[in-house]
Chain A
Amino acid sequence: MGDKSLEETASAPGRGSSKRTAIIAVLLVAALVAVGIGTWFALSRPAGTDRADVLRLDKHRVIVDNSMNLYDPLVQQFSGRYSNAISEKAGQPEEEKVLSLDRERIVRESAANRDRLEQMSESPALKDQKVAESFNRFKDQYTAVIAYNDQLLINTANIYRSVGGPCAALHSSLNVASESYSEDYVKSADECLAALGTAKDGADAETTTLLTEVESVIRGQRDKQQEVLNSKDPLERLAKSTVAAVALLDINEAFGKAQATYETASKDKYTKIIENANSSNTEFEGVLKKSLEQFDAASGEGK
């Protein structure tokens, strides 16, 4: 028994070693294949996505461009609701509600747009110099559109809060023929002027000009009514109040002029921003299209 087992075991190494070599070889090959497949699997994706990166970047370009169309209806809704809340004196909680709902929706919109641009700037497709340059212009122009709309939100709120608020009452709810008109006017005008003063906080150049013009018109009227109040002599009082009343006739013209200037200036500004954005978009689209064509041509040669 012991002999046999010894013989068997003794002979085992010889046959075993060749078997073992074969197994090791098979295992090695298998391991190599596994490593190879793994490496291919790991590397093939990033390597093969160059074209997909360009495609993706192009889709993101379309998304950003399309999202700009949302500002118009969203800002309109906000200004409509805010102006109603102000002019109907809905009260602080209601104003806050409009601000937190409708204004915040636009704030979120802008944040999402900025995120999209940021994400685009991390695209691997930007390794291509031309694509990167074109993207940077696109990003700058669209950032300007977003910034314009953010500013518009501030301007709209500020204008409604002042011109649409305490100032609106000045020329609609006071009785010109009333005895206390001058007194009422000066009181309301002071509230209006205070509101106009704070409304300039954070306003852009065009809006500040508008508010300043409205301010100077109201201040002029206010001072004339104050003169009426200051005059002791009844005859002088009558004369002053006639001058003040006649001056009121010009007020609509002055407001109309200020408003027209404002509308023209902000429209021009926006038109220019939109034009720039559109041209940068067209250019970027062209560059990406060319890049895609190059990929297609390269893969065509490969086949």
Chain B
Amino acid sequence: MTIEPVRKKRRPVMIALTLAVVLALIASAVVISVSTMTAQQRRESLVLLKDERLTTLDEARGKIQPAVNTYLAAYKKARNAPASREEAEKGSAKERDEFQQAIISARTALNEVQTSDTAGAEDKTVSGAVAMLGDSYQAYLDSMEGLVESYPLFEGLFRQDAGCSGLFVGSKAANLRERQTLLAQAAVQCREAVNQLKQSKNVSYVEFARTLDNQIAQLETHAETTAKSEENYNEFVRLKDEYVKKIDDATARNAPDAEYRTIADELKALNTRIKNNRSEFDFAAKRYVNGVRDMPTLVEDVFTKDVADQIKHHDAVIPIRVQVLKDALDAELAE
């Protein structure tokens, strides 16, 4: 009778203890296996990122440049057929499509890299490297997309559609005022296209459009100066004739010396005006000629210099970004 209460008390304690220990065992086993599993999963995801996704990203980028070149060549060929801008765009639609596909693949590959599970990384190195790679890669894709998108506009600037070729007035004008008027008319139409080009996603086009816009403004100023100088000159010729008449008249009248001196002073002032007019004309004319002469080079430089430099820039930056990410992943995977 004395044992029973004790026994009755002990049994629940025993059960509780057993349960607690068993639970603790299960819990620790679960914790261990879960953390091993998540560690394993994380490792696998990091390895996947490093070995597969980054390779896919690199391959996707490798396909962009050829696709750009193929499209540009196809469009130019179609346009030179000759064809209008719309026809040329139709004629190069296939290449344009292929480029778009390459861009989509590259963006998908980038997205895969950016959404890789790098969570739990002990430091910001991996996520930071992913973000910086994403930034540079994105900038590259945007600039190439802009290069293709705005190409018809750029290519057509000095054709009929944009009418910037009207800036080369040449021998169409009978005098400098007419030249100035023709230039101003061409500038209005051309500037519209130039301003459109300023909205491009590609910086090379934007910078070119900015420079061209300023060049046009300079041409307009110089054209105005030279036209005005020419008009001034005609006025000077008229004034000179007047003075010749005045002197003849004074001589006929046997005019006093004072009148001759006044005429001489006025002539001196006129001479100064002629000299200054001449200097302004020379200054503006020289710059006008240089501006027109340098314009083709300005256009050429967009692809031979600026775009080439841009591509070189991305070719330098992106591989380093990829390598940094790979090294960051290696650091994470080190054991």
Chain A residues with a Cβ under 8 A of chain B: 9-10, 12-13, 16, 20, 23, 27, 30-31, 34, 37-38, 41, 48-49, 52, 55-56, 59-60, 62-63, 66-67, 69-70, 72-74, 76-77, 80-81, 84, 88-90, 105, 108-109, 112, 115-116, 119, 175, 177-179
Cα(A193)–Cα(B16), bound, Å: 88
Q: Kindly list 4 other residue pairs between chains A and B, CB separation below 8 angstroms, not including A88-B210, A178-B276.
A: A20-B10, A23-B14, A60-B331, A73-B312
Which residues in window 311-325 of B have CB below 8 A to A? 312-313, 316-317, 320-321, 323-324
Cα(A13)–Cα(B3), bound, Å: 8
Cα(A66)–Cα(B325), bound, Å: 11
Which residues in window 292-322 of B have CB below 8 A to A? 309, 312-313, 316-317, 320-321
Does the CB pair B324–A88 fall under 8 Å? no
Q: Which residues of B contact A177 (CB under 8 A)?
A: 279, 282-283
Central interface residue in A13, A34, A76, by most chain B CB within 10 Å: A34
Q: Which residues of B contact A116 (CB under 8 A)?
A: 125
CB-CB contacts of B1-28 with A at 8 A, as 1s and 0s? 0011001001000100110010011001
Contact of B280 with A by CB under 8 A: yes
Interface of chain B, helix or strand or loop or mixed?
A: helix
Least Cβ–Cβ distance between B145 and chain A, in angstroms: 17
Task: Name 16 interchain pairs, CB-CB below 8 A, sorted by A.
Answer: A12-B7, A48-B335, A49-B335, A52-B334, A52-B335, A56-B331, A62-B327, A63-B327, A63-B331, A66-B320, A70-B321, A72-B316, A80-B309, A84-B210, A88-B207, A105-B135
Does the CB pair B124–A20 fall under 8 Å? no
Does the CB pair A55–B334 fall under 8 Å? yes
Interface residue from A23, A37, A70 paired with B320 (Cβ < 8 Å)? A70
Contact of B128 with A by CB under 8 A: yes
Interface residue from B10, B21, B211 paired with A31 (Cβ < 8 Å)? B21
Does the CB pair B279–A175 fall under 8 Å? yes
Does the CB pair A119–B125 fall under 8 Å? yes
Does the CB pair B3–A10 fall under 8 Å? yes
Interface residue from B24, B128, B211, B313 paired with A115 (Cβ < 8 Å)? B128
Q: Taking CB as reference atom, which chain B residue is nearest A31?
A: B21
Q: Which residues of A contact B282 (CB under 8 A)?
A: 177
CB-CB contacts of B201-217 with A at 8 A, as 1s and 0s? 00100010011001000
Q: Which 4 A-B pairs have the closest CB atoms?
A: A59-B331, A177-B279, A55-B334, A175-B283
Does the CB pair A77–B320 fall under 8 Å? no
Cα(A73)–Cα(B279), bound, Å: 45
Least Cβ–Cβ distance between A199 and chain B, in angstroms: 23
Q: Which residues of B contact A77 (CB under 8 A)?
A: 313
Q: Which residues of A contact B257 (CB under 8 A)?
A: none
